[in-house]
C-alpha cells in the first residue's frame, strides 16, 4: 500500500541522517526536506507538513546531538512524536461496556464500505467473546439487506432486517429493541448511504439516531478520497454526533495520508482501518502503534496485545512441556491454530520491528495458505503419529503416501511438513531453560524486546526468513534496532 511506501521513505530519510558523522543544521534540514516531500506526495495537508517540520526542528537540540549523545534515538523520537501529534485527534473513542447493550450506528456515503465494515466490526468483538448482532436499516439500496444477511450468515452473527418494511426508522427501532431483549451486547445498526451528502440522507440519519439513541456513531470513510475527507467528515459530524471513524480501503493505491490527517484534524478518533475486502482485513487503529508500524519500527505493544487476545500468553500445559523440551506434531498443530487466531499472518508480521517493509501482500497469503495446508495434512494423521516425539521412526514412505492421499496433497508436501516440524523440535529443545510464570504465563520475554525478536526469528516460516536474507539478514535488522529504547517508542505494556 502507498502508506507503506511513505513509511519506507521516512525511515530512509532518518537512516541517512544517522549514518552521517557530522550532524549539523544542514543535515537535519535535508532529512526534514525528504520527510516533508514524502508526506506531501502521500497527500498530507501542506500546512500540517510545514508545522511538523518546524516542530521536529524545535525538538531536536543540535548541541546535544553534536556531542553524539544518542543521536539516532533523539532524531527518531522527535520525528515519531511529531507524526503521532499530527494524527492525534485529541479525543478518546467510545469504549463498549460489557454486560449491557451498546448500540452502535454506522453512517457514511454509499460505497464507502459501510456494510462490510459493520460485519468486520461485529466479528472483531465476537472474537473477543462479545454478543454481537447486526440490524440493516438500509431500505434505500435494493440488495442492501441481502448483502448484510449474507455477510452475517457467513460470520455467524445474528441479524435483523425486512424485505417488506420501507421505513428505515421503524426497522432500526424494532431491531434494536428485539436485540436488547435478547441480551445482546453490541448492536450494530447499518444505515443507508447516498452518492453524495444530501439533505435526505442526513434527515434519515437524524431520525434513526433519535429512535435508537446510539451510544456511538461510527462514520465510515473511504480513504481514497484523500483530503476531501476533511469536508465529508465535518459534514457528517455536523449532522449527527459522530464519535469514531473507520477508514476503509487503506490497502488500495489511494494516498491514504490525506484522509488520515484530515480526519485527525476534525478531532474524530479513527478506531479501525479496513485493509481489504476480507473480514480479517481489519485492524484496530491506535496512533502510536500505527506510526510505529508505518516507520517499520514494529509494534511490540500491539504484538503483545494480539498474543494476549489469542490467549497465547497463558498456556500452562504447553509451556510446561516446552520447559522440558517436549514437542509433538499435535503441539505444532495447536500452535498453528493459535497463530491463526491472532489474525492474518501479514498483520502479525507487520508488528515485528523491521518486518513490515519486507512483507509483500502476495507472500502473506502464501504463508497463511501453507499453514492451512499443513493443518489439513495433520488432520489425516493418526493419534500415534501426532503424539510421537520420534518422527523419523514413525513416518515411512508408505505412511506418507497414505497421508498425502487422505489430505489431497503431494507426498513431497507431507515430507516438507515433517522437516518443518523437526526444525521446530530442535528449536524447542534449545528452550529447555525457559522459566514459566507462576500462573503458567508465557516466559517473560517481553521485558527484553530484542531477545523476543530473536526468538521470533527462530519461529519464522523458513521461506519468510529467506525473504529477509536468512538469519544474518535478521541479525542485521536487530543490529539496526540497537540502541533504540523500544519501550519508549511503542508504549509497551509493563
CB of 132 to ligand GTP, least distance (A): 17
Our finding on whether 343 is near ligand GTP (CB under 6 A) is no
Beta-bridge mates of residue 271: none
Give the DSSP H or E segment for 389: none
Is residue 276 within the footprint of ligand GTP (CB under 6 A)? yes
Site stretch for ligand GTP (CB under 6 A), options 136-144, 173-181, 231-239, 484-492: 136-144
Per CB under 6 A, does 277 bind ligand GTP? Answer: yes
SS3 label, residue 133: strand
Instruction: Find the binding residues for ligand GTP in span 138-157 (CB under 6 A).
Output: 138, 141, 144
Of 273-281, 349-357, 426-434, 438-446, the window that binds ligand GTP (rule: CB under 6 A) is: 273-281
Q: Which one of the spans 24-32, 156-164, 233-241, 248-256 is the region binding ligand GTP (CB under 6 A)?
A: 248-256
Sign of CA dihedral 399, 333, 358, 263: positive
Would you count residue 196 as binding ligand GTP (CB under 6 A)? no
Q: How far apart are CA 10 and CA 257, in angstroms?
A: 13
**Could you give the residue ranges of the DSSP H alpha helices within 19-60?**
25-41, 46-59
HEC profile of 87-132: HCCCCCCCCCCCCCCEEEEEECCCCCCHHHHHHHHHHHHHHCCCCE
- At closest approach, how far in Å is the CB of 264 from ligand GTP? 19
How many Å apart are CA 307 and CA 123, to the nearest integer? 18
Residue 346 sits in the site that holds ligand GTP (CB under 6 A): no
- Tell which one of 36, 45, 115, 266 touches ligand GTP (CB under 6 A): 115
Taking alpha carbons only, the member of 92, 482, 88 closest to residue 288 is 88
How far apart are CB 114 and ligand GTP at their closest, in Å? 3
33 contacts: CB under 8 Å, gap ≥ 6: none
Rounded to an integer, what distance in angstroms lies between the CA atom of residue 260 and that of residue 419? 45
Binder of ligand GTP out of 248, 261, 266, 315 (CB under 6 A) = 248
Footprint of ligand GTP on residues 278-307 (CB under 6 A)?
Answer: 281
As measured in angstroms, the least distance from the Cβ of 88 to ligand GTP is 23
Q: Which is nearer to ligand GTP, 38 or 240 (CB)?
A: 240
Judged by CB under 6 A, does residue 266 bind ligand GTP? Answer: no
Contact 449, 486 (CB under 8 A): yes
Binding residues (CB under 6 A) for ligand GTP: these are: 108, 110-116, 138, 141, 144, 192-193, 248-249, 251-252, 274-277, 281
Amino acid at each position: 500500500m502507498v502508506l507503506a511506501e511513505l513509511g519506507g521513505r521516512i525511515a530512509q530519510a532518518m537512516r541517512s541522517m544517522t549514518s552521517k558523522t557530522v550532524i549539523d543544521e544542514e543535515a537535519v534540514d535535508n532529512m526534514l526536506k525528504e520527510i516533508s516531500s514524502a508526506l506531501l506526495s502521500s497527500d498530507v495537508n501542506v500546512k500540517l507538513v510545514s508545522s511538523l517540520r518546524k516542530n521536529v526542528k524545535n525538538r531536536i537540540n543540535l548541541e546535544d546531538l553534536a556531542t553524539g549523545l544518542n543521536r539516532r534515538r533523539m532524531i527518531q523520537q522527535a520525528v515519531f512524536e511529531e507524526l503521532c501529534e499530527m494524527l492525534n485527534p485529541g479525543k478518546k473513542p467510545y469504549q463498549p461496556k460489557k454486560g449491557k447493550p451498546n448500540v452502535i450506528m454506522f453512517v457514511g456515503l454509499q460505497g464507502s464500505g459501510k456494510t462490510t465494515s459493520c460485519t468486520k466490526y461485529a466479528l472483531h468483538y465476537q472474537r473477543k467473546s462479545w454478543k454481537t448482532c447486526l440490524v440493516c436499516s438500509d431500505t434505500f439500496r435494493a440488495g442492501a439487506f441481502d448483502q448484510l444477511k449474507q455477510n452475517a450468515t457467513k460470520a455467524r452473527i445474528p441479524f435483523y432486517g425486512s424485505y417488506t418494511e420501507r421505513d428505515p426508522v421503524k426497522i432500526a427501532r424494532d431491531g434494536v429493541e428485539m436485540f436488547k431483549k435478547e441480551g445482546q451486547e453490541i448492536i450494530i445498526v447499518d444505515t443507508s448511504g447516498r452518492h453524495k451528502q444530501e439533505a435526505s440522507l442526513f434527515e434519515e440519519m437524524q431520525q434513526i439516531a433519535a429512535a435508537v439513541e446510539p451510544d456511538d456513531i461510527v462514520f465510515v470513510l473511504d480513504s481514497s478520497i484523500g483530503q476531501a475527507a476533511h469536508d465529508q467528515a465535518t459534514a457528517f459530524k455536523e449532522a449527527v454526533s459522530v464519535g469514531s471513524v473507520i477508514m476503509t480501503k487503506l490497502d488500495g493505491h489511494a494516498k491514504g495520508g490525506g484522509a488520515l490527517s484530515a480526519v485527525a484534524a476534525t478531532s474524530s478518533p479513527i478506531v479501525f482501518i479496513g485493509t481489504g475486502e476480507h473480514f480479517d482485513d481489519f485492524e484496530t487503529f491506535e496512533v502510536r502503534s500505527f506510526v510505529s508500524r508505518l516507520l517499520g519500527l514494529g509494534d511490540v505493544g500491539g504484538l503483545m496485545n494480539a498474543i494476549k487476545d489469542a490467549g497465547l500468553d497463558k498456556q500452562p500445559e504447553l509451556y510446561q512441556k516446552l520447559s522440558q523440551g517436549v514437542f509433538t506434531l499435535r503441539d505444532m498443530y495447536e500452535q498453528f491454530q493459535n497463530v491463526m487466531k491472532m489474525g492474518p499472518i501479514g498483520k502479525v508480521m507487520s508488528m515485528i520491528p523491521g518486518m513490515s517493509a519486507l512483507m509483500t501482500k502476495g507472500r502473506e497469503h502464501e504463508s497463511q495458505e501453507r499453514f492451512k495446508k499443513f493443518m489439513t495434512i495433520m488432520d489425516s494423521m493418526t493419534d500415534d503419529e501426532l503424539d510421537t516425539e520420534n518422527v523419523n521412526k514413525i513416518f515411512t514412505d508408505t505412511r506418507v503416501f497414505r497421508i498425502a492421499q487422505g489430505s489431497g496433497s503431494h507426498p513431497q508436501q507431507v515430507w516438507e511438513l515433517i522437516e518443518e516440524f523437526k526444525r521446530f523440535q530442535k528449536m524447542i529443545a534449545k528452550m529447555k531453560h525457559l522459566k514459566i510464570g507462576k500462573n503458567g504465563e508465557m516466559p517473560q520475554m517481553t521485558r527484553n524486546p530484542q531477545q523476543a525478536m530473536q526468538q521470533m526469528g527462530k519461529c519464522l516460516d523458513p521461506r519468510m526468513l529467506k525473504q529477509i536474507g536468512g538469519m544474518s539478514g535478521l541479525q542485521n535488522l536487530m543490529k539496526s534496532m540497537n540502541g533504540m529504547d523500544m519501550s519508549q517508542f511503542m508504549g509497551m505494556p509493563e
